[in-house]
Amino acid sequence: MKKVTKPVFFIVLLVIALFVGVQVTGLTYQYGDIQTTYIKKASDVRWGIDIRGGVDVTFTPSTGVEATEEQMDSATEVIKQRLITLGITDSECYTDYSNSRIIVRFPWQSGETDFDPEAAVKELGETAMLTFREGYEVDETGVFTGATAENVILQGSDVVSASVGVDENNKYIIVLKITDDGKQKFSEATKKCAAEGKSISIWMDETVIANPNVEQQITSNEATITGQFTAEEAKSLADKINSGALPFNLETSSFSTISPTLGLGARDAMLIAGAIAFVFIAVFMIIMYRLPGFVSVIGLAGQVAGMVCAVTGFFGFMNGSTLTVPGIAGIILSVGMGVDANIITAERIKEELRAGKTLDGALRAGFDKGFTAIFDSNITVVFVAIILMGAFGVTDSFFATLLKPVFGFFGTSTEGTVYSLGYTLIAGIILNFVMAVTASRLMLQSLSKFKALRNPVLYGGVKKND
């Protein structure tokens, strides 16, 4: 590692302090009635069913639809994908083939106070069939007829991805990337509509969401949907398009709220206990290990803030993860491993000083020797976390895909509470290397450059003159 100078401590401290601060306050921008979140705060954490409760809903195919097992599986996967786009990982989704039912349980959203089960399930059960149609011919009830009904230009299957954008007037739009086949069809349709002075209407199921005029042929592989969308409406529409359409209409046969097994009172008690434990750990580390202990406390504060960041998603455009009781256990275990990593390093530094090495030599050797033990203990936990996320996560996640040859023959097993444990563990281990290994080393080596802080006693050694 290159020579660390005195200002490095203050730079690292400032970065960690800002990181902790934004997790408390967040960063939002209000423009009229539109609030844009750039950085999420700790209160944006989505709590699991076991802590906050949620919804139990049963979907069935609409009357007259005889759904096959393959169609039921397809509908179940679409619902799971919609839950994922909403940042819900603590969910349960079962398919009852004999009774043609799909049973879904999922938690409340963060910040919800007046919970409406009907509104919560509506978005999941919508067919969400996106179509681009020629012109805008409708009957008195608003249902498309004539050429609009007959000439479907693009469907949801022609769309690769959908994202939210902003046009030159600062209005929210949905940007669609379409397939090569869809690009060809769209090019031909826009050429025809431009020549005939027709519009291309855009529909979600049987509701028109835009009806733009076509002035010229469009040959790119991008299309946009414009309208008077709020940020939430634009994101919701993009999520529906990305999740895909259901193979048939669903009806809600029953729904109810689920009471939490622990409740918010238990959550608050755990948070208070965690804060008290952190204070005791901080005092212990400073008393036992002096300056290395002081530096480790700063690193641990950054690690806790980083764990909150991993759960919320940090940036406004990123989905977070649902935090369950096992997830909280994963955070506690990760912080404990962070404490252990700092203790290992501090003890190694102390041993090197008592063996007669200079302060600079003891710091280098202490961190180098401590890293081997820290790496070995942490990497085994990473393997466990990956297995938990692969075995109990959603079927199309990275780790589930990676481990499919191992767990595929057991069938699908999505268990959000176990996934939450694996997620917080792997996030905690990564932050452990960032904070307990890298940041602590930079700060401690920087502080050792100050003459007043070069006494070996401050690092656990025997007092002597440098």
- With respect to residue 2, please indicate whether it lies within any of the assigned structural domains: no
The count of other CB atoms within 10 Å of the CB of residue 335 is 22
Q: How far apart are CA 409 and CA 419, in angstroms?
A: 19
Identify the weakest region by mean pLDDT among 27-36, 275-284, 359-368.
Answer: 27-36
How large is the average pLDDT for residues 381-388? 83
Strand partners, 176: 162, 223
- In this model, does residue 31 exceed pLDDT 50? yes
Q: Quote the pTM value.
A: 0.68
Q: For 57-98, how does the pLDDT look when each residue is reduced to its tens digit (9 = 90+)?
A: 888 888 878 888 888 888 888 887 777 766 666 677 888 888
Q: How many residues are there in the chain? A: 466
Q: For 286-308, how does the pLDDT look when each residue is reduced to its tens digit (9 = 90+)?
A: 999 999 999 999 999 999 988 88
On whether both 318 and 226 belong to a single domain, the answer is: no
Q: What total of structural domains would you count in the chain?
A: 2
- In this model, does residue 451 exceed pLDDT 50? yes
Residue 33, pLDDT score:
58
CATH code, domain with 223: 3.30.1360.200
- In this model, does residue 412 exceed pLDDT 60? no
CATH code, domain with 21: 1.20.1640.10
Range of the domain at 310: 7-28+262-459
- In this model, does residue 143 exceed pLDDT 90? no
Compute the half-sphere exposure of residue 320: CA atoms within 13 Å on the CB side of its CA: 28
Q: Name the packing angle between helices 359-392 and 325-354 (round to 10°).
A: 160
According to the per-residue pLDDT averaged within each range, which of 113-117, 272-276, 390-394 is highest?
Answer: 272-276
**Of 245, 271, 299, at which residue does a domain stop?**
245
Q: For 164-184, how does the pLDDT look when each residue is reduced to its tens digit (9 = 90+)?
A: 888 888 888 888 889 999 899
How large is the average pLDDT for residues 327-336? 87
On whether both 285 and 229 belong to a single domain, the answer is: no
Closest CA to 309 of 107, 25, 110, 45: 45
Is residue 245 within 8 A of residue 156, CB to CB? The reply is yes
**Of 220, 245, 270, at which residue does a domain stop?**
245
- With respect to residue 65, please indicate whether it lies within any of the assigned structural domains: no
On whether both 222 and 327 belong to a single domain, the answer is: no
Compute the half-sphere exposure of residue 341: CA atoms within 13 Å on the CB side of its CA: 36
Residue 12, pLDDT score:
93
- In this model, does residue 309 exceed pLDDT 70? yes
Q: How far apart are CA 20 and CA 54, in angstroms?
A: 30
In angstroms, how far is the first alpha carbon of the chain from the final one? Answer: 22
- With respect to residue 408, please indicate whether it lies within any of the assigned structural domains: yes
Strand partners, 95: 102
pLDDT band at 128 (very low <50, low <70, confident <90, very high): confident
pLDDT band at 404 (very low <50, low <70, confident <90, very high): low
On whether both 289 and 413 belong to a single domain, the answer is: yes
On whether both 268 and 313 belong to a single domain, the answer is: yes
Three-state DSSP string of the chain = CCCCCCHHHHHHHHHHHHHHHHHHHCEEEEECCEEEEEECCHHHCEECHHHHCEEEEEEEECCCCCCCHHHHHHHHHHHHHHHHHCCCCCCEEEEECCCCEEEEEEECCCCCCCCCHHHHHHHHHCCCCEEEEEECCECCCCCECHHHHHCEEEEHHHEEEEEEEECCCCCEEEEEEECHHHHHHHHHHHHHHHHHCCEEEEEECCEEEECCECCCCCCCCEEEEEEEECHHHHHHHHHHHHHCCCCCCEEEEEEEEECCCCCHHHHHHHHHHHHHHHHHHHHHHHHHHHHHHHHHHHHHHHHHHHHHHHHHCCECCCCCCEECHHHHHHHHHHHHHHHHHHHHHHHHHHHHHHCCCCHHHHHHHHHHHHHHHHHHHHHHHHHHHHHHHHHHCCCCCHHHHHCHHHHHHHCCCCCHHHHHHHHHHHHHHHHHHHHHHHHHHHHHHHHCCCHHHCCHHHHCCCCCCC
Is residue 304 within 8 A of residue 336, CB to CB? The reply is no
**Of 216, 245, 274, at which residue does a domain stop?**
245
On whether both 320 and 429 belong to a single domain, the answer is: yes
Q: For 189-242, how does the pLDDT look when each residue is reduced to its tens digit (9 = 90+)?
A: 899 888 888 888 888 877 888 888 888 888 888 888 887 788 777 887 887 787
- With respect to residue 251, please indicate whether it lies within any of the assigned structural domains: no
- With respect to residue 164, please indicate whether it lies within any of the assigned structural domains: yes
Closest CA to 194 of 177, 218, 210: 218
Q: How far apart are CA 303 and CA 335, in angstroms?
A: 7
Q: Tokens at residue 203, please?
A: 């529909």
- With respect to residue 118, please indicate whether it lies within any of the assigned structural domains: no
On whether both 236 and 269 belong to a single domain, the answer is: no
Residue 319, pLDDT score:
64
How large is the average pLDDT for residues 409-424? 63
Q: How far apart are CA 205 and CA 228, in angstroms?
A: 19
Closest CA to 324 of 415, 401, 396: 415
On whether both 186 and 324 belong to a single domain, the answer is: no
CA distances from 191 to 175, 209, 223, 282 (A): 20, 22, 14, 69
On whether both 233 and 181 belong to a single domain, the answer is: yes
On whether both 267 and 325 belong to a single domain, the answer is: yes
- With respect to residue 303, please indicate whether it lies within any of the assigned structural domains: yes
pLDDT band at 15 (very low <50, low <70, confident <90, very high): very high
- In this model, does residue 374 exceed pLDDT 70? yes
Which phi and psi (to 5°) does residue 66 adopt?
A: -100, 90
pLDDT band at 142 (very low <50, low <70, confident <90, very high): confident
- With respect to residue 61, please indicate whether it lies within any of the assigned structural domains: no
On whether both 452 and 325 belong to a single domain, the answer is: yes
On whether both 320 and 455 belong to a single domain, the answer is: yes
Which phi and psi (to 5°) does residue 259 adopt?
A: -75, 140
Higher pLDDT, 420 or 374: 374
